Amino acid sequence: MAIPQVYAGWRAIIKFNNDIFAAGFVMDYNIDTMQTEINGLDNVFPEELAPERVMVTMNMRVYRTPDNDPVSLGIAPGGDSIDGGATKAQTTFTSSKYIQIEIRDKVSDKTVLMLPKAQVFRRSGQGEAEQLITENWSIRSIGYFGPGAQVSGIVPVFKNLAF
């Protein structure tokens, strides 16, 4: 009998164009699978439940430096610039790019959850002198990958998920 693996804590690696952009350390996620009932004749119970749609959302506390501004990189809604005089408000909103988020166990460094095509849809934050900027991001993702084998019921398993 295999001993279930216990994770010691998670950290997030946030990538944009295959470069590490920021790090996240406090997160929660939801993977909602909507179901459609397939009904038969003369039966009060459905014959089966068919998955209809999967929605992946995550909230995460992100630590970043001022030069890694998500608006300037085009991965979060906002204006074009603040240092060139007048701004063009909300022009990057429709062209926000995808980011990749990889959640890893901080001790074993194994991938626990990966969001291959995610976008930021809500941010709030704070900053202090001589410190990293701390932001809370709300994220939606197209598809996700689990760890590859069921591990103590943490994440449903999907290998080679098409998105």
Q: Please enumerate in sequence order all residues whose Cβ is within 8 A of that of 44, keeping only pairs 6 or more positions apart, or say none.
A: none
* Better-predicted residue by pLDDT, 21 or 156: 21
Does domain 10-141 match CATH 2.20.110? Answer: no
Domain ranges in the chain are: 10-141
- pTM attached to this predicted model: 0.68
**How does pLDDT run across 102-159, given as a tens digit for each residue?**
888 877 778 888 888 898 888 898 888 777 888 999 999 988 887 654 333 344 444 4
The dihedrals phi and psi of 86, each to the nearest 5 degrees, come to: -70, 140
pLDDT at 150 (0 to 100): 39
Q: How many CB atoms lie within 10 A of CB 21?
A: 19
Question: What DSSP assignment string belongs to 26-88?
Answer: EEEEEEEEEEEEE--TT-SS-SEEEEEEEEEEEEEEEEE-TTS-HHHHTSSS--S-SSSSS--
pLDDT at 1 (0 to 100): 61
